[in-house]
């Protein structure tokens, strides 16, 4: 986006220095789930959050909604700090912020009919009569592409795709401004996944929704998101527009993550050009984080300064593109060095295969 376009966007959520630590019972140790997270979410956009399991994606989404309380930092929603709200204020906030969980079978009560579950938020947050809630449930079912007969079904009678549609209907029942989508299609078969993605796009257009889309599936993120945040070991290591992230990743972890995607053509999958971007070694413990860059023990471009100096999320040359790597942001890591490293790793791989007689 250009500078002028950036200036016209309206901020919905501003996350500042977010920290979430989980204590380990019986010890003084803590697990660092989110560390120094700074993000801005604009109205009407979809922000993708990607990274390996355990990187902090789901914790970030739940902290934004105050489903769990952050250890430190602020989450500013339309000018109000969510982290400082009272219990009553948080309950009221639920009308503006909702979530769709990964597993629809777990998200819905197996003993209650679908229509009652869809309008449960309205029973709590509105003065609607039971008949009005029933009528609203039928409207919501139609909106997400489900027939009226689903209203009186229980979850066991529906397919995974229909259940996730019902979960989405419940999430939008209060006309929220923000919806956190936590792996909303990972439990679905491919056909249902495609239908849910199309539904989410349509609802965003028609209702003006803002999404945080948490996913492992890079293809889905690329298809739906406007901007993407990449997380590694509790930190956001890169943030930018979809095109910048997928076409010009700057952080070494982002390069490795995007290179890890298998290609559908077996001949291309045997090509080892992406192997040069692979990270080696173990991920550091989230209980005992490194002093400097969290990727330093696995990065092929590491220098002593990386191991000693904490990295900060810094503008990476393009507007609205940031990376947590001083070598990238200061121009110290050249394309020539990257290509030399790639060629050396390719050569090492070929030599290892020859030595093994493969």
Q: How many CA atoms lie within 13 A of 124 on its CB side?
A: 15
Q: How confident is the model at residue 162 (pLDDT cuts 50, 70, 90)?
A: very high
Interval 284-296 mean pLDDT: 94
Q: Per-residue pLDDT for 223 more than 90? A: yes
Q: What is the pLDDT of residue 5?
A: 45
* Whether the Cβ atoms of residue 345 and residue 280 lie closer than 8 Å to each other: no
pLDDT in tens, 15-53: 999 999 999 999 989 999 999 999 999 999 999 999 999
**Cβ-based neighbour number of residue 104 at 10 Å:** 24
Q: What is the pLDDT of residue 272?
A: 47
DSSP letter, residue 69: -
Please give the residue that has the higher pLDDT: either 25 or 280: 25
Buried b (16+ CB within 10 A) or exposed e, 158-168: bebbbbbbbbb
Q: How confident is the model at residue 149 (pLDDT cuts 50, 70, 90)?
A: very high
Span of 136-145, 244-253, 264-273 with lowest mean pLDDT: 264-273
- Distance (Å, whole) CA 281 – CA 246: 24
Beta pairing partners, 11: 42
Q: Per-residue pLDDT for 288 more than 70? A: yes
Q: What is the pLDDT of residue 3?
A: 46
**CB under 8 Å to 55, separation ≥6 — which residues?**
231, 232, 233, 234
Q: What is the pLDDT of residue 276?
A: 56
Percent of residues, the chain, with pLDDT higher than 70: 94
Span of 180-194, 253-267, 276-290 with lowest mean pLDDT: 253-267
* Whether the Cβ atoms of residue 68 and residue 60 lie closer than 8 Å to each other: no
* Whether the Cβ atoms of residue 207 and residue 175 lie closer than 8 Å to each other: yes
pTM over 0.85: yes
User: Mean pLDDT in the chain?
Assistant: 90
- Give the DSSP H or E segment for 229: strand 227-232
Q: What is the pLDDT of residue 326?
A: 92
pLDDT in tens, 167-203: 999 999 999 999 999 999 988 999 999 999 999 999 9
Q: Per-residue pLDDT for 264 more than 70? A: no
Interval 78-105 mean pLDDT: 93
The closest alpha carbon to 61, from 161, 72, 50, 158, belongs to: 50
> Cα 263 to the chain's mean position, in Å?
23
pLDDT in tens, 41-90: 999 999 999 999 999 999 999 999 999 999 999 999 999 999 999 999 99
Q: What is the pLDDT of residue 266?
A: 55
Q: What is the pLDDT of residue 78?
A: 95
Beta pairing partners, 239: 229, 322
Q: What is the pLDDT of residue 183?
A: 94
């Amino acid at each position: 986006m250009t500078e002028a376009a950036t200036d016209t966007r309206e901020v919905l959520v501003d996350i500042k220095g977010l920290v979430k630590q989980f204590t380990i019972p019986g010890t003084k140790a803590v697990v660092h789930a989110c560390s120094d997270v700074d993000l801005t979410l604009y109205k009407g956009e979809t922000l993708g959050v990607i990274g390996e399991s355990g990187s902090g994606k789901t914790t970030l989404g739940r902290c934004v909604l105050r489903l769990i309380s952050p250890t430190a930092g602020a989450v500013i929603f339309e000018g109000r700090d969510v982290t400082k709200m009272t219990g009553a204020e948080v309950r009221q906030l639920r009308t503006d912020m909702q979530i769709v969980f990964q597993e629809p079978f777990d998200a819905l009560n197996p003993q209650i009919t679908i229509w009652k579950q869809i309008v449960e938020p309205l029973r709590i947050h509105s003065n609607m009569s039971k008949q009005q809630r029933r009528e609203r449930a039928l409207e919501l079912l139609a909106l997400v592409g489900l027939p009226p007969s689903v209203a009186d079904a229980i979850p066991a009678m529906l397919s995974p795709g229909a259940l996730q549609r019902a979960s989405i209907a419940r999430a939008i029942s209060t006309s929220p401004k923000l919806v956190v989508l936590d792996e909303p299609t990972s439990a679905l078969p491919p056909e249902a996944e495609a239908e849910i993605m199309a539904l989410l796009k349509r609802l965003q257009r028609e209702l003006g929704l803002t999404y945080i889309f948490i996913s492992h599936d890079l293809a889905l993120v690329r298809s739906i998101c406007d901007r993407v945040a990449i997380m590694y070991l509790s930190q956001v290591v890169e943030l930018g527009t979809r095109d910048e992230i997928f076409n010009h990743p700057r952080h070494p972890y982002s390069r490795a993550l995007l290179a890890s995607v298998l290609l559908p053509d077996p001949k291309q999958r045997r090509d080892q050009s992406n192997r040069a971007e692979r990270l080696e070694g173990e991920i550091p413990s989230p209980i005992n984080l490194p002093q400097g860059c969290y990727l330093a023990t696995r990065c092929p471009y590491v220098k002593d300064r990386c191991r000693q100096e904490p990295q900060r999320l810094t503008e990476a040359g393009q507007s609205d593109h940031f990376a947590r790597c001083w070598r990238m942001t200061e121009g110290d890591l050249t394309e020539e060095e990257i290509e030399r490293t790639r060629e050396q790793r390719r050569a090492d791989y070929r030599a290892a295969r020859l030595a093994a007689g493969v």
